[in-house]
Structure 1
Amino acid sequence: MSKNREAQRENQEAPRAVEEPRRDTASLLALLDATDLRPDMAGLRARSYELLSPAPGSTVVDVGCGAGRAVAELAGRGVRAVGVDPDPGMLAAAGTRWPTAEFREAGALALPFADGSVDGYRADKVFHVLEEPGRAVAEARRVLAPGGRIVLAGQDWDAFVIEADDAALTRTLVRACAARLGSPRVARGYRNLLLDGGFDDVTVEVHHHLFTGNAALPLLARIADGARAGGAVGRGAADGWLAEQRRRAEADRCLLALPVFVAAAFAPV
């Protein structure tokens, strides 16, 4: 076999080195800021902390911590909370906002913790960007101590409900935006993902977020831009659809709803 063919085969057989796509940090940070303080978002974060049930002094890792709000809130509950994120820009923003909190640069597939060294694992709005979420679950099990708690939360990117004149175009936009993600429907599969990963006492809850008026526009713009960037629709169709949504928002007739799944389980003892 030639060296070129050997190299090609090695490249095909080697595991993918990139676990998460590059993100537009500035626009994502703006979107997080626009939503994090909503009562429903704050309530869902609080519910994830309840499911973690961390004891004072225990160690909890928040994977894909973004701007770090959950890390700061967990630390305020008396636990050692460590936020990890692969985006240096996000970590810089987190460090500025929460200077006493602990953050590390790392992705979900290679956490900077020894085997069995953490008591809680939390990942909110993270697994949908991963090509292989099962590998992230295996990594979570590696770092969790026996009896440690895992909580996964996230929206189903293929199940958005949007009020619009053209239902077919709206469905095309939602599906096209979802297709650009690594695992857009992973949230509906959290329960099976944890069961397949060997976790015990798996539970799952379904919540929802509802956006009306101008509050819906950032997410609607992301859907339209994602579909256009993926080539599913032309600029004219995407811009026209978004213009309709802006008119709806001005008249307080805009509505977007999405299901959010929250799963929790124990690492086997």
Structure 2
Amino acid sequence: MTSPVFETVPPDPIAYLDRLAVSELGREYKATMLAALAVEPGHTVVDLGCGPGTDLPALAEAVGSGGTVLGVDHDREAVDTAADRTAHLLQVSARLADLHELPLADASCDRARTDRVLQHVADPSLALREARRVLRPGGLLVLGEPDWGTLTVDHPDAALTAAYTRYVTDHAVRNGRIGSQLPRLAAESGLDVVDVHPITPVFRQVGPADLVLGLQRVTRRAVAAGYFSAPDADRWLTHLATGPFLATVTFHVVTARA
């Protein structure tokens, strides 16, 4: 089943991050993360997995002219874009680096953040230990990640929803349950977890939900992986496109102290 309500071509990764940042969900959770960071003028802040630099200007404003903001990412195109977008901000720099082996000195940062990054990395525990290493005693790390196991897309056949969610957590996202695992993993890395703040957006229209979830594209991949039959996939997508729609997933913002 093909419907104009679904995107058929995967968006450019940078364009996807940009549009998510300005969505209602993006604005809400990013504001929550920024408040939790409690950045002060003069601080040194590192954005671990900064992507195209979406959040670097807000961090630069928070640290002021006397502070430092470093964006770190493993993707060259993202780092180059971040550098271009923040070239006018003298306190900001973007660097190509691996979150598992940060090119930063021990206890060199006051604040650190990751935003939907640990769901994709090879070893979240190692990345968290590296974040703890570069934080000064008392420094804060704020983590924002979804738990894709909480994803619910309403459908009259609950088994289809279960199959879709299972495919997402099994295959579509490397660390699909990371949102709920963050407090434990942070504690195991030596951090003191001081707050866990859940955010659960509710999508009532299929179009905006598809811009975040890629419903048709993911369903087709689930068919190829054996989670859906082709007829079941058509039945699933037809209802999503034409029936009353509701989808939710819980996003966790975790604050931890070094």
TM-score bin, normalised by smaller chain: 0.7 to 0.9
Between stretches 210-219 and 94-103, larger displacement belongs to 94-103
Amino acid at match of 1:85: D
Q: Compared with structure 1, are the counterparts of its residues 85 and 222 closer, same or farther at alpha carbon in structure 2 (3 Å cutoff)? A: farther
| Map 1:78-227 → 2, pairs under 5 A | 78=64, 79-100=67-88, 101-180=92-171, 181-213=173-205, 214-218=207-211, 219=213, 220-227=215-222
Which of 26, 34, 37 aligns to 1:52? It is: 37
Between stretches 38-47 and 92-101, larger displacement belongs to 92-101
Q: Compared with structure 1, are the counterparts of its residues 34 and 153 closer, same or farther at alpha carbon in structure 2 (3 Å cutoff)? A: same
Which whole-Å CA distance do the structure 2 matches of 1:212 and 1:67 have between them?
29
Pairwise CA distance, 1:160: 0.5
Aligned residues: 240
Amino acid at match of 1:95: A
Which of 59, 63, 67 aligns to 2:48? It is: 63
2:202 aligned counterpart, secondary structure: strand
Q: Compared with structure 1, are the counterparts of its residues 162 and 25 closer, same or farther at alpha carbon in structure 2 (3 Å cutoff)? A: closer
Pairwise CA distance, 1:188: 0.4
Q: Deviations over 1:130-179 (max 9, x none)?
A: 34211111111111111111111111011102122322112111111221
Q: CA RMSD in A?
A: 2.3
Q: Deviations over 1:200-258 (max 9, x none)?
A: 2532111112223110113123532442454433455435423432224xxxx322111
TM-score (norm 1): 0.80
Q: Compared with structure 1, are the counterparts of its residues 255 and 150 closer, same or farther at alpha carbon in structure 2 (3 Å cutoff)? A: same
Is contact 1:63–1:107 with CA below 8 Å preserved after alignment? Answer: no
1:128 aligned counterpart, secondary structure: coil
2:201 aligned counterpart, secondary structure: strand
Structure 1: any 5+ residue segments left out of the alignment?
Answer: 1-23
Is contact 2:168–2:176 with CA below 8 Å preserved after alignment? Answer: no
Structure 2: any 5+ residue segments left out of the alignment?
Answer: 1-8
Amino acid at match of 1:142: R
Higher relative contact order (CA 8 A, sep 6+): 2
Q: Compared with structure 1, are the counterparts of its residues 245 and 90 closer, same or farther at alpha carbon in structure 2 (3 Å cutoff)? A: farther
Q: Deviations over 1:35-90 (max 9, x none)?
A: 21123421221221121112212111111112211112111222422111112222
What percent identity do the matched residue pairs reach? 32
Which whole-Å CA distance do the structure 1 matches of 2:131 and 2:231 have between them?
44
TM-score (norm 2): 0.83
